[in-house]
A = this chain, B = another copy of it.
Amino acid sequence: MNNELEILSLKEKFHRFGYKYTDQRQLVLDVLSEHPDLHLSSDDICEYLKQKKIKMGQSTVYRTLLILEKMKIVRKMDLNDGFTRYELCDHEEEHAHHHLICSKCGSVTDIKGDLLNNLEQQIYRSYGFKINDHILKFFGECRNCLDKNS
């Protein structure tokens, strides 16, 4: 899943932040990389680890996710279902990307690309509010579910 170069730079990154590079931290990252399309909760990650016959305390998973968030390797998000979820950051993008959440089937589609630049400038002019980041979620019905209806 990760080549040697990536692991090396990852190790360095942990060290730059004053953290140790441990098997457990790598394993959590592995699970996240293996499911880039899903938005996993702590519990989901524990389940995937179990499936892979890996025994890890769930407090380690929680603590690892907090660290990965501080290191800006993952981003915390939620789908308005009450669960805190995590997704790998895409370092191409300056801000959080957006999500299309289907109310019928529950599918989540990521929208890449920042669609809010104009809006943010407009808000700065109107409200004097300097925006650093945003969260935008759309709820509705995805193409598949719309097709099934008709």
A residues within 8 Å of B by Cβ? 80, 100, 102-103, 109, 111, 115, 119-120, 122-123, 127-143, 146
Contact = CB atoms under 8 A, between A and B. Distances in A.
Interface secondary structure of A, over-half rule: strand
A16 to B, nearest CB: 24
Q: How many copies, total?
A: 2
B137 A132 contact: no
A132 B103 contact: yes
B115 A142 contact: no
B115 A100 contact: no
Contacts of A130: 140-141, 146
Contact of A139 (B80, B127, B132): B132
